[in-house]
Amino acid sequence: MIYITGGSSGIGLAMGRVFAAQGAHLLLLARDEQKLKDAGRTVEKSRRSHTQKVGTMSLDVADPAAVKKKMKIALDIYGAPDILINSAGINKYADHFENITYDMFDEVMKINLYGPRNMIHTLLPVMKTGKGHVVILSSAAGLFGMFGYTAYGTSKAALLGLSDSLRYELKPLGMKLTVICPPEVDTPMNIDEAKTLPQEGRAVKSLGGFLTPEFAAKVIIKAIAREQYLYIPGASTRFLYLLHRLSNGWLTRMTSDAVIRRARKKMGK
Options 156, 163, 176, 256, the catalytic residue: 156
Concatenate the DSSP letters of all residues of 5-66 into one string.
Answer: ETTTSHHHHHHHHHHHHTT--EEEEES-HHHHHHHHHHHHHT-S-TTS-EEEEE--TT-HHH
Active site residue 138: yes
Contacts of 185 (CB under 8 A, 6+ apart): 10, 11, 210, 211, 212, 213, 216
Options 87, 138, 155, 256, the catalytic residue: 138
For residues 39 and 43, what is the distance between their CA atoms, to the nearest angstrom? 6
Options 114, 152, 231, 241, the catalytic residue: 152
Sequence-ordered strand ranges (E) for 74-229: 83-86, 133-137, 176-180, 184-185, 210-211
Active site residue 68: no
For residues 10 and 16, what is the distance between their CA atoms, to the nearest angstrom? 10
For residues 4 and 84, what is the distance between their CA atoms, to the nearest angstrom? 6
CB atoms within 10 A of CB 70: 18
Of 196, 75, 186, 67, give the one whose Cα is nearest residue 129.
Answer: 75
Active site residue 152: yes
Q: Tell me if residue 84 falls in helix, strand or coil.
A: strand
Sign of the Cα pseudo-torsion (43, 45, 49, 50, in order): positive
Phi-psi region of 209 (alpha: psi -120 to 50; beta: other; left: phi over 0): left
Across the chain, which distance is largest between two alpha carbons, in Å? Answer: 61
Question: Which of the residues are catalytic?
Answer: 138, 152, 156
